[in-house]
Every structure is written in structure tokens, then in C-alpha cells.
Amino acid sequence: MIRVVFTPNLRRHLATPEATVAAVTVAAALDQVFTGNARLRGYILDDQGRLRKHVALFRNGDKVDLGEPLAAGDELYVMQALSGG
């Protein structure tokens, strides 16, 4: 199983509880999370299904893309970047 965790900043905008899913890629793991939380998809992916520029994904601490593989026991961390001045 894959543990999917969201940053506290993202959780301020909508409910994003930690999830445990069975998936072999990052995209598949996120799709399973989106099934239970359709609004979240718009925060993470654009209209073409690509990762938004302000979102970063980390597997066990290493930055990854949507097509990256996952293995049982991995943690996928979804981070929304902040900017401003």
C-alpha cells in the first residue's frame, strides 16, 4: 500500500486527509485519491491532466513526476508551493 500525504497549506483550502491506496504509479495513486475527493483534482492537475506548476510530488523524500513507479510501503507527499513577496 502507498501512503499519500498532503501539506497543511493544501489542507487549508479543502479536506485532504491522508490516504492509503494500492497503486503502481504516482498518477494511479492520485487518481484513487481523486475518486473520493473530486475537487482536489483541480488543485493538483490542470485541464490536460498535467501536474500544476505550483505542485511538487515527493516519493520517500525524492522529487518525482506523475509517471514514476511506486512500490509497497512508499510514501507520496503532495506539496503546494507558496510564493509571494
Q: Above pLDDT 70, what percent of the chain?
A: 95
Closest CA to 19 of 11, 30, 9, 8: 30
**Full residue range of the structural domain in which residue 23 is found:** 2-80
- Is the pTM value of this prediction over 0.85? yes
Q: Is residue 56 assigned to a domain?
A: yes
Cβ–Cβ under 8 Å, residues 25 and 65: no
Q: Is residue 85 assigned to a domain?
A: no
Q: Which amino acid is at 52?
A: R
Quick one: average pLDDT of 6-30?
Answer: 90
CATH classification at residue 13 = 3.10.20.30
Cβ–Cβ under 8 Å, residues 56 and 73: no
Give how many domains the chain has, as a whole number.
Answer: 1
d(CA 67, CA 16): 22
Question: What pLDDT, in 10s, does the model give residues 30-50?
Answer: 999 999 788 899 989 999 999
